[in-house]
Chains A and B, each alone.
Chain A
């Protein structure tokens, strides 16, 4: 590239209105593109953060969510005795057998019903999930019909004040506290005593059991031991994090697919816009191109200059789009997760990967939009270019 950068930069500035309009188009598309990726990323992060690497979850074979899984008490008890399972300081197996059901509650601000996940937990559950912290009130007492609510539930549903009562299952439950699970899916759950829940919902079996491994490497040995035990033939083990990753795939995949199809259609418009701008730039600067060529600048220098001009446009547009999208990271939305059919609150997460993907996407728009005009510029005949003065 022999043509000075100042020439490219100032040419963009000289036609600042067109430059600004083109930037606006590219920035909008980049914004939508980044926002879609951030949303999909937000779902993944919410769900994946829910799972811990040290924990392993037992489900019924081929059950792809807790909702459709059953673990009988005998199976859960046998698993608890396996040597790969850690023990609490009190000497008990580090495990929580849980019931997972869905109930309906009325949303705040409308009378629409929303599906809410209810989880019955064992006393060890809180140690298994140290990210879950009480923020108001107190933890429920085991043996009583009390519940604590994740913060997203408390914010979004009616009659969820501490001290109020909710009626579900065959019982009335007193709200005694709120917890914060640091943005994970537990924030969208209601927790209570697993035995009380079992009785209220008439469920003699658990939905799942979660265990802490003595170390992360013990997962494969544990799996092997389970496979060899005929009493546990109906149980399947997954790392908790992998389980939640699978839960996120359906939802984040859908957001990504729909969002990206839409943005790619938009991007065709923005690319054509950039192309028109660059063709106009070439047409307006025909004499300049002829002069540069006469002075001895080669075709490839002219090609590079116009391509770089277009790439600058697209990268700046992409950066503006990312800046706009970063404002979305303050927005949290809540919707039904297709994986569990219950409310899940999540946000737009701006990750380095999102920034890179968006810039690459913008770059592709710039290259596609700028290439043909740049080729035209480089192919101009010197004499006819000079003559068009």
Chain B
């Protein structure tokens, strides 16, 4: 499903070349719930961004469902993301001027669905995350846990191939974090979603099928 083959990534800061990932190879089968752990600066977010198609490797290939995303041009990559990736961010990244409903609807605006179909999808996604009664609320009228659930609804509304989550519980209290992890677990088990999650939180990682540790840009 996701085949990461021998990728390396480095950043250039002024004249310094800073290696972040070196020779990473990784397979994520369909339906997998993978947690990437490791200390800060170990490259786990970079690896996640590469899989999500918002960053490009220096060398190597990343194939998702048969598409080598490292070869797509920027515009095609954007289209690919809109069809295949659901993003869950640490700070939710909802647009503050849009309601929960409108935030979840955003990715659907990039599809050919009619207004009525979009409404049905959005309502289904928001009900799934338990916020069917909060659709007209703006992000600032919601708690952190609720905001993250709106963000999860936004991530799943297009039925993407893979969900990428970067510290999804990092900004939440323990109870809300627990709820979010239950939800993610359900998405994986019940809806067979493939999930790649970066986390520092061992409790969150417990829900994953598989935990991989990154250290200094290398997997082990």
Binding site for B on A (CB under 8 A): 2-4, 6-7, 10-11, 13-14, 287-288, 290-299, 382-383, 386, 389
Contact = CB atoms under 8 A, between A and B. Distances in A.
Nearest to B80: A296
A382 B96 CA distance: 19
Nearest to B54: A382
A11 B97 CA distance: 6
A389 B125 CA distance: 26
Interface stretch (B58-66, B81-89, B195-203, B209-217): B81-89
B89 A386 contact: yes
Given A287-B93, A386-B93, A389-B91, A295 B98 contact: no
A3 B105 CA distance: 11
Interface stretch (B22-30, B35-43, B106-114): B106-114
Contact of B78 (A4, A7, A291, A298): A298
Given A2-B110, A4-B102, A383-B49, A294 B97 contact: no
B220 interface: no
Contact of B97 (A14, A298, A299): A14
A296 B95 CA distance: 15
Given A4-B109, A382-B54, A294 B96 contact: no
B75 interface: yes
B55 interface: yes
B98 A294 contact: no
A297 B81 CA distance: 9
B25 to A, nearest CB: 23
B12 to A, nearest CB: 13
Contacts of B71: none
B51 interface: no
B79 interface: yes
B47 interface: no
Counting chain B CB atoms within 10 Å of each CB, the highest count among A10, A294, A297, A298 belongs to: A294
A168 to B, nearest CB: 71
B181 interface: no
B80 to A, nearest CB: 8
Interface of B: 49, 52, 54-55, 74-75, 78-83, 87, 89-91, 93, 95-98, 102, 105-107, 109-110, 154
Say whether chain B's binding surface is mostly helix, strand, loop, or mixed: helix
Contacts of A299: 74-75
Given A4-B109, A294-B54, A296-B107, A288 B75 contact: no
Contacts of A10: 97-98
Contacts of A290: 93
A296 B54 CA distance: 10
B54 A383 contact: yes
B98 A7 contact: yes
Contacts of A14: 96-97
A247 to B, nearest CB: 56
Contacts of B83: 296
Contacts of B74: 299
B88 to A, nearest CB: 11
Contact of A7 (B49, B89, B90, B95): B95
B40 to A, nearest CB: 13
A94 to B, nearest CB: 69
Given A297-B78, A386-B93, A6 B98 contact: yes
A386 B45 CA distance: 12
A373 to B, nearest CB: 18
A296 B89 contact: no
Contacts of A297: 78, 82, 110
A140 B154 CA distance: 86
Given A7-B97, A11-B97, A295 B110 contact: yes
A58 B105 CA distance: 74
Contacts of A3: 109
